[in-house]
Amino acid sequence: MSETRLKVLALVERIHLRKSTMSISQRRAALVEELRKEEMNEFARLISSPGCKSHTSTDIRTRKRDHISQDEKMDIKGYLKTCSPQISDIDSTQFYKVPFSNVISLVKKRKVFIMHGEAFVPAEEMVYLFVSYFRRILISGFEFAREARAKLYNDERFTHIFANLENSIHMENTVLVHERDIQEYISLNRLDELSETSYPLCMQVLHKALRKTHHLTHGGRIQYGLFLKGIGIPLSDAMDFWKNEFTKIMDEAAFNKEHSYQIRFAFGWEGSRRDYQPYACVKIVQSIVGPRDYHGCPFKHMLHNVLEEELVDCGFNALGK
């Protein structure tokens, strides 16, 4: 980094320390004034310019200060032509000088001229430099994530939650479904038990709401109905299950008229006769949920205090309370 840029950064840092007593516009004006005092007028113009919306020659020249000068280009023009044969007009093309290690892919393809460890990169090939920086930042981010994960597992506040989570998983009660091969027949009288031991939270919320209100809105009926189908409830049992609940607030004729077709449709017995599958988590998370709805993802759609109550009911000691 050049000495001039170090001076600019020092000025920026010094003025930024006044943020408690100066507004953004005041700090910006102070920085421009300091830059002009130090005769760094190009940087002052860069801050004062309208930015990318401006296309005046002065602003563009300021923003492209990093490219090599015309005199330097003329000195090595022959080499640039040899290394960049795809460029027809060397004179009008801007070249940027960067460490060759940052554009290894261009070096491998022999697309850049290298002198004193610096690669002269034409503007149209600068994307390779950006990709290189992005890859480096991404790898650094992965390393940081691994370190953060290790620290997380060493934090007592989280290890308590992880321990409760592990103890709350009962694999012996989990109903496993592989493609269409159901491991066991599930009777309707087991649903209450399974909802407490094996249901994901989103389905547990729907089951409790159905038992309490004897009703679910359309989105809830579809989400829970396909889940029941997925765990092995046959059409006849599903029809009985919904009828037993809904007829507590409506007569059987109303149920047959309003809901029986939809249940048969979900099982592929009506309409297009498609074999509809249970919703994946991504689809549930993306659900549109209204104030009277219980479907969707509790971790996204529930109010924090309601979600905490649900987790406590599931056996979690929320946040160590």
Q: Which residue has the tokens 């005046």?
A: 56
- Determine how many CB atoms are found less than 10 A away from the CB of residue 136: 11
- Determine how many CB atoms are found less than 10 A away from the CB of residue 247: 15
- All domains of the chain in start order, with CATH: 1-50 (no CATH), 59-172 (1.20.930.80), 188-314 (no CATH)
- Give the pLDDT score at 61: 47
Residue numbers in the chain where pLDDT is lower than 50: 1, 52-55, 57-64, 170-182, 319-321
The Cα–Cα gap between 103 and 105 comes to 5
**SS3 state of residue 20:** coil
The Cα–Cα gap between 105 and 101 comes to 9
The three-point CA angle 229-230-236 to 5° equals 20
Q: What is the DSSP string of 138-202?
A: HHHHHHHHHHHHHHHHT-HHHHHHHHHHHHT--GGGPPPEETTEESS---GGGHHHHHHHTS-HH
Task: Please name which of 228, 227, 222, 250 lies closest in space to residue 241, comparing C-alpha atoms.
Answer: 228
- Strand pairing category for 181-182 and 177-178: antiparallel
- Give the pLDDT score at 312: 86
Q: Output phi, psi for 9, to 5 deg.
A: -60, -40
- Give the pLDDT score at 227: 94
CB 47 within 8 A of CB 32: yes
> To the nearest 10°, the Cα dihedral for 294, 296, 301, 306?
40
Half-sphere exposure for 200 (CA within 13 Å, toward CB): 18
